[in-house]
Structure formats: C-alpha cells, structure tokens
Amino acid sequence: MDPIALGPNVPDTFYRGAGRISAFRDLAFDAHPEDWVASSTARFGQAPAGLTRLPDGRLLVDAISTDPLDWLGPEHIARFGANQALLVKLLDAGQRLPVHAHPDRLFAAQHLASPYGKTEAWIVLDAPADASVWLGFSRDISTNELSGWVTGQDVGALLAATNRVPVRAGDAILCPAGMPHAIGEGILLLELQEPTDFSVLLEWEGFPLTRQDASVGLPLDVALQCVDRRRCGPERLAQLRGRPNMVGTLLPAEADYFFIAERVIAGQLPAGFSILIVLSGSGTLATATGHPITVSRGQTILIPYAAGDCALAGDIAAIRCLQPTG
C-alpha cells in the first residue's frame, strides 16, 4: 500500500466557515467550516455524511474492515481492534461556535452504546491577533445553575463563567471530554479527537438549531450530566497546553492515551497508520518500494501501516496524527 492524497470531505454543519480551509488547501470548494480527514466516523444521525471516500471509490471504513491488518497494523489491532480509533478535522470558525461539551467514555458506554467519548485537541493553524477559545468553567457550577443557564439560554452568564483563553497560530491545546468549550471566530485549526460525533450543546440560540438538537437524543437533564462542572483554574489550563511550533510531540502527555500529534520536517517517518497534514513548503513522500509522491502545503495524506517506513524530503513542515501504540 502506498500513501494516499485525499480530497476534501466536507459534511454540512450548522455554523459558518469563512473559506480558510479551501484557501489553505488551495482547492476550489465552498466555504465549508469542516473537512473530515481520512474519516471512518459518520456525522451523528446522518450516515454516511462524514465518511471519507477513497480515490478508488470505496469508503475508507469499508476498506479498513476488509483488510484491517494492512491498514492499521498488528499493534493497533491488538489495542483497538479494526476501529481506526481516530478522527481528524480541519475546522474554520467563521463565527464563534456555541458553548458545548462532549461525553467521556464512561458516559458514552452507559448512554450512547459507544466505547469512545470525545476527548479532542486543537492545533491552531491561523488566528487573528485577538483570537480566543473558551475552555472550562472558572468556578464550580451547580447542577441547578447549569440547567438554568441552558434551559433559559442565558448565554451571557454561560460565557462569563467559562475561561476565555487567548490563542495564536502554533498553539496546541487539549480539551478533555466533559469540559465545556467554544472556538472563537476567525480561527483555523487542526482537530484530533476520539472517533465519535457526540456533542451536548449548552447554547443553541442564534444558530439554526433547536433544543432537540442539543442533547444527542437523550433527555436534556441526562445529557447535561456529561458536563464537567468543576473549576478549571490557571494551573489546569496550563497543563492542557502543549508546545507551540516544536518539532516532535505537540500535545501534553495527558493526550497520549487518546492520540498523538507530531510536528515533522524532512526525515524518516516510522511505519504506522497515520494522517499527514502538510503545513508549509513542498517536497516528496516516498516508501521503500513505491514511487515518491509530491506533497505540498494544504495536502492531507493518509498513510496505511503497510506503506512501511516513509521518507519525507524537501523544504516542508507537516503534522502527523496517529494513535499511540503503547
């Protein structure tokens, strides 16, 4: 198997993009706010939306299920089975996203029949000077307080109680499952996450959404139980930050249980199922036996396990997304 250059995979969503993904990828498509890269995960309740189709016409999820060993490798299968266990997205916030949270694995197993929750991480690719994200509550919040804000759509109180965190290009932040969060307007980011599309919306007013869209099919009071209402203070926020613009692992060690993001430049890429996002420059990607392919800024490359060790050459920088193998 050789590495595969992927086209865009842009399922519809409820918020606006601003054309940053098409500009980054140098591809002519509408201002979609999300590109699901090498995805075996469907949009919640809307399959097959979200699933990546390979250049040969097959869905990636079907190709993996037919030949999991060559796609994923024996170590991956021993730990995760034939599940890809990773979802990667490009996300373009053309407006501030609503405050929301994602279930953890225990909640997902109990209420959503899934072994995966949705811990995620953000690597900021581009952002205006005043860019911010919102992450975690700044104080402990009671069940009744949260319920009142959500049912009454008191967005002012909700945002006031959520930490506003300035970000800039190169920043890397882990967002654990359960933690309330929102992405600010004007940010283009790369998102790694567990392979689900579960979102509990704490805010829907002003978006083309209703209360019924907010709770992943559960009663709202049950869905809100997944929200981490504990204070997320400065010390915790610092723990969730990774290392901006470093070569090597970008995310804090806490992320390793869920996924790994490495900033790579020219050199060897050890064998393993991975997704490569080219940040800048151009060059070639070659396997030991296959023909080199030309790669350049904005390309998304799927590397199967059976491609073996790969060599990245040229004046190039990229992020390699993969699951831990330990």
- Give the chain's domains with CATH numbers: 10-70+81-242 (2.60.120.10)
pLDDT at 326: 52
Report the pLDDT averaged over residues 274-281: 97
Distances in Å between the Cα of 240 and the Cα atoms of 6, 136, 217, 233 are: 31, 11, 30, 11
Containing 92, the helix (H) or strand (E) segment is strand 87-92
Phi, psi angles (nearest 5°) of residue 139: -155, 165
* DSSP conformation letters of 53-65: B-TTS-BHHHHHH
Spatial neighbors of 11 by CB under 8 A, at least 6 apart, are 34, 36, 43, 46, 49, 50
Phi, psi torsion values for 203, nearest 5 degrees: -140, 130
Quickly state the pLDDT bin for 245 (edges 50, 70, 90): low
d(Cα 203, Cα 205) in Å, to the nearest integer?
6
- Is the pLDDT score of 147 beyond 60? yes
Q: Is the pLDDT of residue 96 over 80?
A: yes
pLDDT in tens, 36-59: 999 999 999 999 999 999 999 999
- Per-residue pLDDT, 167: 97
Reported confidence tier of residue 242, pLDDT bands at 50, 70, 90: very high
Q: Rounded mean pLDDT of 149-168?
A: 98
